[in-house]
Structure 1
Amino acid sequence: MEQTNHYFYVLECSDGSYYAGYTVDINQRLKKHNNGTGAKYTRGRAPVKLLYSEEFATKSDALKMEISFKRLKRKEKEQYIYRTSNEER
């Protein structure tokens, strides 16, 4: 059985807003967002750029992270991205 990677990711839209999502293929999903075939939220806010991604063992864990992230205030989102990105280095 093939193992699938599950990702939580954060995009920065052209208007400076953040979009958080889930995918199994980050590159393909980023292309969809920038082509206008991704999420409705990002269609009018392209181009978008990938700010952050995190890999999870299960879809459930990645979706839980997405939900938790979306509940944060903007400053907390920025702190999470900065802190977690620096921990990985």
Structure 2
Amino acid sequence: MYYTYILRCKDNSLYTGYTTDINRRMKEHERGINSKYTKAKGFSNLEIYFICKSKSDAMKLEYKIKSKTRNQKLYIIKNPQDFIKQLKEIENFCILDVIKPTE
């Protein structure tokens, strides 16, 4: 499995990435390792993550999210199913599930 995620930093900015191990990656962000951005901004919490079938889908999803404005990313966090529906209308993404750990 591959995961594309959005996390919130201590300065309230949003960071998007992908990984093969979501728990390990969040621990790395918490410790400020393997990411210059979260090391500088500080890790606050994981907002949402998408489970993808392939690395290609996870990377494409990361790219799509990173190209969005902050307000669009906040919309994705609040309405992930709408975002997934929009993606599937444009391209053939294989998103297996979406999880909002803060709920």
Give the TM-score normalised by the residue count of structure 2: 0.75
SS at match of 1:7: strand
Q: CA deviation at 1:38?
A: 2.7
Query: Match of 2:77?
Result: 81
Q: CA deviation at 1:48?
A: 2.7
Q: CA deviation at 1:46?
A: 1.6
Distance 2:81 2:4 in 1: 13
Distance 1:38 1:82 in 2: 27
Query: Match of 1:34?
Result: 30
Distance 1:47 1:41 in 2: 9
1:54 aligns with 2:53: no
Runs of at least 4 residues of structure 1 off by over 2 A? Answer: 85-89
The alpha-carbon distance between structure 1 residues 15 and 85, as it changes in their structure 2 partners (threshold 3 A), is: farther
SS at match of 2:27: helix
Deviations 1:8-67 (A, max 9, x none): 001100000000000011111011011111311100222331000000000000100000
Confirm or deny: 8 A CA contact 1:22 1:62 kept in the other structure. Answer: yes
The letter for the 1-side match of 2:49 is S
Q: Which runs of 5+ in 2 are unaligned?
A: 85-97
Q: Which runs of 5+ in 1 are unaligned?
A: none
Kindly report which structure 2 residues correspond to 1:2-17, keeping only aligned pairs within 5 A, or say none. Answer: 5-17=1-13
Q: CA deviation at 1:79?
A: 0.7
SS at match of 1:54: strand
| Residue of 13, 20, 27 corresponding to 2:16 | 20
Give the TM-score normalised by the residue count of structure 1: 0.87
